[in-house]
Structure 1
Amino acid sequence: MPSIVIPKLQRQDLLVSLGLVAGEWREAPGKKVFPVDEPSSGTVLSHCADLGRQDFFDAIDSVLLEPASLLRGRQRHVRESCPSGMTWFCRTLMINGKTFLEAKGEVNYAASFIAWFAEEPVRSYGDTIPSSYANTTVLTCKEPVGICGIITPWNFPAAITTRKVAPALAARCSVVVKPPSETPFSALAFAKLALEAGVPPNCMHVLPTKDSFTGSTNVGNMLTKAAAETMKRVSMELGGNAPFIVFEDADISQVVEAAMVCKFRCSGQTCVCANRLLVHERVRDEFAQKLTKRVQQLKLGRGIDKETTQGPLVNESAVKKVDSHVQDALEKGATVYAGGKAPTHLQGYFYEPTVISNATTDMDVAHDKTFGPSSCNFLFLRRTRGGAAGE
């Protein structure tokens, strides 16, 4: 494993490359593995077991329901293990493009879900409902829904794992987790800490595979249809095409700072990143100039370097998609104020933080989420009840 990612640490044992099924760390059939890239160098970080269909069946067949107090008394161990494993967690989280500061924030965010849901089981009250029949009372109580299958994304591999697993365990539901192939090690390390904390082996299973899901509406639609055949309950968090609207009476300096967070957090690779910046014509130039100046202050580089404020993208495909959107915008009349290309002085999957103005609705960026560090400014002329009207 590259030394820039995993140096000498207190918890080297948290690097797990095997799947967890019924408390057993297992290899895939035929010792099949898949590579996990380190994006700041574009090289292979490590390999991870590529578990198969039968492994999922084994996990499902061995699940166990536990009392609602499962997390209470155990969450402290996981939280107290964070300081010794903090640097390790942060470095593994950086394989999706985060800076060290962003990764550290996610580790604390992930731990907070465990703390919160560990206290929730004692408050899982039922209800007493007035009855329409004399001398009767209607009572409701909450019961586990059963096994929870959890597919987690690569951009928040620690936080989304605990955000889904902790409430499931608190509700006495066993979980079968399929971590992302781009960033599988965070969920596996969390599972190891959970076992150390005393979570029963048959309650939590983590099965990495090389198959990857993108949280798009199309993929969610496909999975929902598949689940509907057997009436499985599903909950989806999918993609979007979020707008960031700048009205003519806004404080532009303050708006620019908000836009930096909304657009360039995690190199633009979050589900809530603004994809389109809708700017009123009266403040278009001022906004573009101030945003450009702020973007040019970003320091592109490896997440482990302290001065870095903008890391790489998760893989080569992500770089190609961002560049495709930028080139499409340029061909259709947009203007690049900053960035607009992959840097030549850095290896790995980098793309310069980009500001594009004069974007129009016929451009790809208007309809397809970029998921990268490229902000496109669309001009609008007037307010409407829905927010803003275009050209």
Structure 2
Amino acid sequence: MERYGLFIDGAWRPAENGETYEVLNPATGKVVGQSADGSEADVKKAVEAAHRAFPEWSGKTARERADILRRAYDQIVSHKEELAKIMTLEQGKPLAESRGEVQYAADFVEWSGEEAKRICGETIPASTPDKRIWVHKQPVGVAAAITPWNFPASMITRKIAPALAAGCTVVVKPAQQTPLTACRLVELFHQAGVPAGVINLVTGTNASAIGNTLLEDERVRKISFTGSTEVGKILMKQAADTVKKISLELGGHAPFLIFGDADLEQAADEVVANKFRNAGQTCVCANRIYVQEEIADRFSEILAEKTKTLKMGNGMEEGVKIGPLIDGDAAAKVEQHVKDAVDKGAKVVVGGRRISEGNVHFFEPTVLTEVNDDMLILEEETFGPVAPVQTFRTEKQAIEMANNSRYGLAAYFYTKDLSRAIRVAEKLEFGIVGVNDGVPSTAQAPFGGFKESGLGREGGRYGVEEFLETKYISIGLK
């Protein structure tokens, strides 16, 4: 069983209060680890360590920071299997998905390290011959990264790798359900040569107390958060008191449009890969599947047949495609959405049942048809393995249905018509659009949303920019 403390100023230590908590496997309900239960006092120590380390780390050359990040990438890749098993044990996703996430997490480290060498300023022509105008980029300072349980490796590296590349130091607060992956990752960064104080990790069960301490501290100049829109709004208000830079990757309610000319087999394969990954517990998975009327029956049949083949169970077992939901609250929400839909006229084509025993909760991969706008499932993010199918008649109607949401993170559609592809992609009000692509996420592209799905971008050079300040320097010549 893994046992970890807090990582502060280059060393593992117990929480100030001496408290710990158990980490459970959501597929079995058994204890798989133990983590320190940090408090406000620990956060203050972590911020102090990051603040002390900032001048030296930010003073390193881009090449020096890039070299350390390259070694961190190598460490993560060489420990891929170990990290994947830790992730599956504490989070529940199938082992094959965990392996894929570890590589995805490593890719952010590699890409950010290379971007460190491409942080450039600018020279602007002055208005008079006796002046020069320089634009200088410099790291914002101490950054706090608050990460979710559904992607416990990649959501950390997507934040801390660009922060380190920019020259920032960081304090990480992972989700209480999945601290072990975070602890092992931080250990590998340390082994790669990241100096003491540059990365600090505070785990704990009192997320609001830890978050409040980070937000109140004036030395923390940047907050990067991935989680619900509701919590993101609270953080946004709190960050205003000290006017921190803030990046928010929040909820999604992704539409997936299937036009009449689409390759239905290929489109159904992409819907399954998109919708049922991580048991539907992703912010970019399809929550609203809109299918053109003339192909709706056939597409629903194909989707149902493919969904029936998905094996549900413990993610450590061979062939499992659908793992458990993270907890009872998650299962109750999925169950509520399905019941509400059925009560209002939806038809369960496949699945539809919650399977719970003690603190272990599964939900069958489910396809619903005859869905309408009055149902909760089309209004709220389900965060579970349920694919609701609704029909549309025209391209204009499909776009209106897709955009009819306060969220704007990701959207997808399938068509063979190039002109339609361009029209629809441009009109969808979402930060990420997959055209004949249900899995577009990659380390080098900007990830983020419109509307209430967040602020800022993560990935590629856009992710590094989030951790930089722009300074204008005017020089008078004598």
Q: Same fold (TM over 0.5)?
A: yes
User: Match for 1:80 among 74, 85, 92?
Assistant: 74
User: 1:160/1:83 Cα in 2 relative to 1: closer, same or farther (>3 Å)?
Assistant: closer
Partner of 2:177: helix, strand, or coil? coil
Q: 1:31 aligned to 2:43?
A: no
Could you tell me how far 1:84 is from its partner in structure 2?
Answer: 5.2
8 Å CA contact retained: 1:42, 1:349: no
Q: 1:200 aligned to 2:195?
A: yes
User: Match for 2:240 among 224, 228, 240?
Assistant: 228
User: Match for 1:57 among 44, 67, 83?
Assistant: 44
Q: 1:115 aligned to 2:127?
A: no
Q: Give the corresponding residue for 2:164.
A: 169
Could you tell me how far 1:85 is from its partner in structure 2?
Answer: 2.6
Could you tell me how far 1:344 is from its partner in structure 2?
Answer: 7.2
Q: 1:210 aligned to 2:205?
A: yes
Q: Give the corresponding residue for 2:251.
A: 239
8 Å CA contact retained: 1:43, 1:348: no
Q: 1:319 aligned to 2:336?
A: no
Partner of 1:321: helix, strand, or coil? helix
Could you tell me how far 1:16 is from its partner in structure 2?
Answer: 4.7
Amino acid at match of 1:271: C
Q: 1:259 aligned to 2:259?
A: no
Q: 1:89 aligned to 2:83?
A: yes
- TM-score, structure 1 normalization: 0.91
Q: Give the corresponding residue for 1:105.
A: 100
Could you tell me how far 1:135 is from its partner in structure 2?
Answer: 2.9
Partner of 1:75: helix, strand, or coil? helix
8 Å CA contact retained: 2:47, 2:142: yes
CA RMSD of aligned residues (A): 2.0
Distance across 2 between alignment mates of 1:126 and 1:29: 43
8 Å CA contact retained: 2:24, 2:31: yes
User: 1:84/1:138 Cα in 2 relative to 1: closer, same or farther (>3 Å)?
Assistant: closer
Q: 1:285 aligned to 2:297?
A: yes
Amino acid at match of 2:81: T
Partner of 2:247: helix, strand, or coil? coil
Distance across 2 between alignment mates of 1:321 and 1:200: 43
8 Å CA contact retained: 2:39, 2:206: no
User: Match for 2:32 among 36, 45, 50?
Assistant: 45
Q: Give the corresponding residue for 2:345.
A: 333
User: 1:256/1:346 Cα in 2 relative to 1: closer, same or farther (>3 Å)?
Assistant: farther
Distance across 1 between alignment mates of 2:42 and 2:374: 46
When you count strand as a share of all residues, which structure comes out higher?
A: 2
Runs (5+) with no aligned partner, structure 2:
209-225, 403-478
Q: Give the corresponding residue for 1:302.
A: 314
Partner of 2:361: helix, strand, or coil? coil
Bigger shift: residues 119-128 or 75-84: 75-84
Could you tell me how far 1:181 is from its partner in structure 2?
Answer: 0.6
Amino acid at match of 2:284: V
Distance across 2 between alignment mates of 1:50 and 1:208: 6
8 Å CA contact retained: 1:243, 1:274: yes
Distance across 2 between alignment mates of 1:76 and 1:120: 11
Could you tell me how far 1:76 is from its partner in structure 2?
Answer: 4.2
Once the two structures are superposed, what CA deviation does each residue of 1:219-257 show, in whole Å capped at 9, x if it has no partner?
A: 111110100111111010000211111122222111101
8 Å CA contact retained: 1:126, 1:142: yes
Once the two structures are superposed, what CA deviation does each residue of 1:272-300 show, in whole Å capped at 9, x if it has no partner?
A: 10111112221111111110000001111
Partner of 1:175: helix, strand, or coil? strand
Identity %: 38
Aligned length: 377
Once the two structures are superposed, what CA deviation does each residue of 1:151-177 show, in whole Å capped at 9, x if it has no partner?
A: 011111111111111111111110000
Distance across 2 between alignment mates of 1:367 and 1:326: 13
User: 1:152/1:256 Cα in 2 relative to 1: closer, same or farther (>3 Å)?
Assistant: same
Amino acid at match of 1:41: T
Could you tell me how far 1:198 is from its partner in structure 2?
Answer: 1.2
8 Å CA contact retained: 1:380, 1:388: no
8 Å CA contact retained: 2:46, 2:171: yes
Could you tell me how far 1:77 is from its partner in structure 2?
Answer: 3.4
User: 1:345/1:61 Cα in 2 relative to 1: closer, same or farther (>3 Å)?
Assistant: closer
Distance across 1 between alignment mates of 2:230 and 2:118: 37
Amino acid at match of 1:45: V
Partner of 2:296: helix, strand, or coil? helix
Amino acid at match of 1:96: Q
Q: Give the corresponding residue for 1:149.
A: 144
Could you tell me how far 1:40 is from its partner in structure 2?
Answer: 0.9
Bigger shift: residues 16-25 or 105-114: 16-25
Distance across 1 between alignment mates of 2:401 and 2:17: 58
